[in-house]
Structure 1
Amino acid sequence: MSEPLEILLTNDDGIDSTGIRALHDALAEHANVTVVAPANDQSACGRSISHAVDVREHELGYAVEGTPADCVVAGLAELGPDPDLVVAGCNEGANLGEYVLGRSGTISAAVEAAFFDVPAIATSLYVPLGDITFDEIDLEPADFAEATRVTSYLAEHALDAGVFDHAAYLNVNVPLPDTDPAPVEITRPSKRYEMDAERNGDAVHLTDRIWESMDPETIPDPEGTDRRAVAEGRISVSPLTAPHSTNHHEILEALAETYLETVATADD
């Protein structure tokens, strides 16, 4: 019998959130799980990093007064055993589209793990808002059933299958559970970006208008994108890489070659 997986689990909603508890309990059935998670909600903090963070013991592991990136660094370098896998989530709210990848604390935890050469899975739950605001959502452990099921499946099978030979991390977005398990679609992040801003006196209000058009009958995102898959009730799994790639091209090379000559001419 093979040894159980060692998993480092974190999130950005905070160590006392319903989503991390649900995911911990599901993963712990087949793996050794060490939780190193923010003490408080750190949503949308990106890859912000601290120079020093306070740490306290928690019934699930360690609560860190810092960001998800702090938690991954602290967990991988100091607090936890060497994990086979880092899991971030389950986030209360979807993380869909290219523009979210650098903003989400959940995704950023997975990216931080990638720089340590540790495979990672970031899992988020899509919750349709309807006529309510996100602050009014009250999720129960049962709401995470689909998310915990697919994350456990990927944690158990993706490593041996060689998935992470081709991807640094998986961005997993899951609809709310239905009667039957949802199918999985391998997707790419949507390129849509619809941030808007409106000034009101001394304040500027920022609005993400993408979430206003999530009706599966009219959603404009093309087939194969993460947002369309989730809106239509499928589990989206986007295999992604880190660090970011560099795109060399001849025009920029030509500018670099003439830089010193141009600067010298300007100084004369």
Structure 2
Amino acid sequence: MGDTLEVLVTNDDGIDSAGIRAVSSSLAKVADVTVVAPLEDQSATGRSLSHEVDVVEHELGYAVDGTPADCVVAGLAELGPVPDLVVAGCNRGANLGEYVLGRSGTIGAAVEAAFFDVPAIATSMYVPIERGPVHEADLGQEEYAEATRVTTFLAENALEAGVFEHAGYLNVNVPVAGGDPAPVEITHPSKRYEMDAERDGETIHLTDHVWDSMDPQVIPDPPGTDRRAVAEGRISISPLAPPHSTNHHEILESLAEAYAEMRGSLRADVSD
């Protein structure tokens, strides 16, 4: 890392969202910032990639007609200097639990960076249910103050502290700013999963019941999880690594041996 911190900023809400403007503005006070973000909302695209994308200059940086993962690849390989850190966010709406790790475009951008061996921070803000649907919530830059504060702090300190020697990226979830700064808790993703589907004629409605309530008195997520921390008003930081790790499994090894025996028998039958 040089004398000046280089940060690539992206998101999945689109380059014109209040969240990316708030985060990039805060980071610009401590780093050289290059913004490469989707032209339009690309929420829930995970790590989807395109073969070809258009790019146009924008007042914040570059707007890419593609996904967050496209933006990271384009930013790291072509559009900007090689950064010390990638920051994705701030997303409007929390990204909590194991099941969102492959679904969220915000986290998808951080994972893409981690595969490039570039540390990353994915920052998302929980929008209380009583404010209505997340995609309709009217949020100003001032409401991202909690997110910008902790993201900027981590950008300034996590690299030198050696955090990314043990994590590929950080999944950070914050409450909406208000009152005193929220405390931080180091967490792990909740395993809770409550998707459901109901058919209505030729239509199937998919519902995520995880968000039916975030009341800490009734949610089943245990202490130490990201959902529990955010429900109780704390900032959740989960240090994570890119997925697809492989574990040795003796039962699977025995199945592979059984398949080899079956294959040998089939070959013998064919040769007869």
Q: TM-score, normalised by structure 1?
A: 0.97
Cα shift at 1:247: 1.1
SS of the aligned residue for 1:43 comes to coil
1:173 is the counterpart of 2:180: no
Question: Aligned partners of 1:130 and 1:78: how far apart in 2?
Answer: 42
SS of the aligned residue for 2:196 comes to strand
Q: Which residue of 1 aligns with 2:21?
A: 21
1:209 is the counterpart of 2:237: no
User: Is contact 1:35-1:62 (8 Å) kept?
Assistant: yes
Question: Aligned partners of 2:203 and 2:20: how far apart in 1?
Answer: 34
Q: Which residue of 1 aligns with 2:187?
A: 187
- The 5 A counterparts of 1:132-147 are 132-147=132-147
1:246 is the counterpart of 2:251: no
**Can you list the C-alpha shifts for 1:88-134, whole angstroms capped at 9, x where unaligned?**
00000000000000000000000000010000000000001227222
Aligned residues between the structures: 267
Q: Which residue of 2 aligns with 1:10?
A: 10
- The 5 A counterparts of 1:1-268 are 3-130=3-130, 132-266=132-266, 268=269
Cα shift at 1:266: 4.9
Give the unaligned 5+ runs of structure 1: none
Give the unaligned 5+ runs of structure 2: none
SS of the aligned residue for 1:191 comes to coil
**Can you list the C-alpha shifts for 1:217-265, whole angstroms capped at 9, x where unaligned?**
2111000000000000000000001142111111111111221221343
SS of the aligned residue for 2:129 comes to coil
SS of the aligned residue for 2:32 comes to strand
Q: TM-score, normalised by structure 2?
A: 0.96
Code of the residue aligned with 2:238 in structure 1: it is S
Code of the residue aligned with 2:58 in structure 1: it is H
SS of the aligned residue for 2:167 comes to coil
Root-mean-square deviation (CA, aligned residues, Å) is 1.2
Q: Which runs of 4+ in 1 moved over 6 A?
A: none
Question: Aligned partners of 1:52 and 1:219: how far apart in 2?
Answer: 43
